[in-house]
A = this chain, B = another copy of it.
Amino acid sequence: MAIVLGPNRYGKAETRLVRVHRDGDTHGLVDFNVSVALSGDLTATHLTGDNSGVLPTDTMKNTVYAFAKEHPVGEPEAFALLLGRHFVTTQGQVSSAKVTIESVAWERLGPHSFQRRGDFTRTTVVTVTADGAQVVSGVSGLVLLNTTASEFHGFVKDRYTTLPEATDRILATAVDAKWRHLGDDADWGASFEGALDGLKSAFAGTYSYSLQQTLLAMGTRVLTTRPEIAEVRLALPNKHHYLVDLSAFDLTNENEVFIAGDRPYGLIEGTVTRDDVPAASAEWYL
């Protein structure tokens, strides 16, 4: 028996980049949080601290900032592809580069003035190898709520079941969605807006008997409307809203007054996919 090094990677996480585009008096603003992780032949540094194959993580940070000057900074998928390809092509010992970008939108208040939106974070995870690139886009922190059109009943009852059946309840979730693109060249902005619209409209428009049903409807809507997307992964916390029992105060509560719970919460996770697409080339859940 021997003890050996298994899968590994390293990089610089959370490089905060703000890029101002100064095209005359009207300025543009891009706000990224960039993380880079490289893998390849890294045995020497693990075994002996021989760093001759280690590009410093500080250099990755510098590269993010230098690229922000040398290249256009627009859609996060495009910028992540640029960075990922750079590391794989210039560093022989690097076989795979994963670039993650969280992007926050700002609303324009004036020619050079902006207000940060906080309704969601746009995400991208690009993995580049010699064989090509896998592009995953996504959204996190998108909180959606239906005040009705949600039921939950007919479920399994065992010894520990006390939940009453519900024919009218609030359904609320904080969408964490990722979707894998078929290729590495798309109109990333339009694709994101289309996928986002699909998620929102399917959530709002689905009469729901379970959050699982809503999840499948959301993923299906994205795939139906966006041919460039192969697969959607959704993690949907069921943000419970508990109906308050007001009977002790001689009041009825006709689905009007709710406690917004913190913990515990349901967590529904699922993947929706086309059945004829190639498998993912890189793990894309992390």
Contacts and interface: CB of A to CB of B under 8 A. Distances in A.
B53 A3 contact: no
Interface string A270-286: 11111110000000011
Contact of A62 (B2, B114, B149, B249): B249
A14 B263 contact: yes
A132 interface: no
A74 interface: no
Interface in A84-130: 90-91, 106-107, 109-110, 112-120
A151 B154 CA distance: 42
A82 interface: no
Given A6-B231, A20-B170, A145-B29, A160 B62 contact: yes
A213 interface: yes
Contacts of A274: 1-4
Interface of A is mostly: mixed
Interface string A243-266: 010101101111111111111111
B117 A118 contact: yes
A8 B156 contact: no
A191 interface: no
A241 B211 CA distance: 30
Contact of A216 (B47, B201, B238): B47
B209 A170 contact: no
A212 interface: yes
Given A3-B272, A115-B142, A272-B5, A54 B13 contact: no
Interface string A151-168: 111111111111100000
B246 A161 contact: no
A61 interface: yes
A186 interface: no
A175 to B, nearest CB: 10
A146 B30 CA distance: 13
Q: Which 7 pairs, one residue from A and one from B, show the smallest C-beta to C-beta distance?
A: A49-B209, A118-B118, A6-B271, A8-B270, A113-B204, A116-B143, A58-B163
6 contacts: A2-B274, A12-B264, A12-B265, A18-B260, A52-B155, A54-B212
